[in-house]
């Protein structure tokens, strides 16, 4: 996790390219939270990778956190879901 004490960049105009290797088994999730500070908020954008149980299919999901007005918790609302091609095929995601 990378956390800065103060904002050094205007992230609206900053493009970051990230290469990561993730090994997923069973039913797995890998989350990336953006636009966050010290706690969860409804301004956060979330990217998560989901691997299905008993399958090699993986999906990348773009989501936001939604505040539940009645209770003090957040719901994950998926805006876009896309299957990731099989391993060995280069795959790029631009946000």
- Please write the tens of the pLDDT for every residue from 2-45: 555 655 555 556 666 767 777 888 999 998 888 777 777 777 88
Q: Give SS3 for 11.
A: helix
Which is higher by pLDDT, 72 or 93?
A: 72
More confident of the two residues 94 and 16? 16
H helices then E strands: how many in the chain? 0, 4
Q: Is the predicted pLDDT of residue 66 greater than 70, yes or no?
A: yes
Q: Compute the mean pLDDT over every residue in the chain, rounded to the nearest whole number.
A: 77
pTM of the model: 0.64
Residue the block writes with tokens 């995601």: 93
Give the C-alpha separation, 48 to 32, whole Å.
6
Where do we find the tokens 């719901």? Answer: 75
């Amino acid at each position: 996790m990378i956390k800065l004490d103060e904002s050094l960049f205007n992230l609206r105009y900053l493009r970051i390219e990230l290469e990561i290797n993730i090994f997923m088994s069973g039913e797995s999730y890998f989350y990336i939270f953006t636009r966050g500070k010290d706690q969860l908020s409804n301004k956060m954008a979330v990217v998560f990778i989901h691997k299905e149980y008993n399958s090699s299919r993986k999906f990348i999901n773009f989501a936001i956190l939604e505040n539940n007005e009645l209770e003090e918790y957040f719901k994950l609302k998926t805006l876009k879901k896309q299957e990731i091609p099989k391993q060995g095929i280069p795959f790029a995601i631009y946000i």
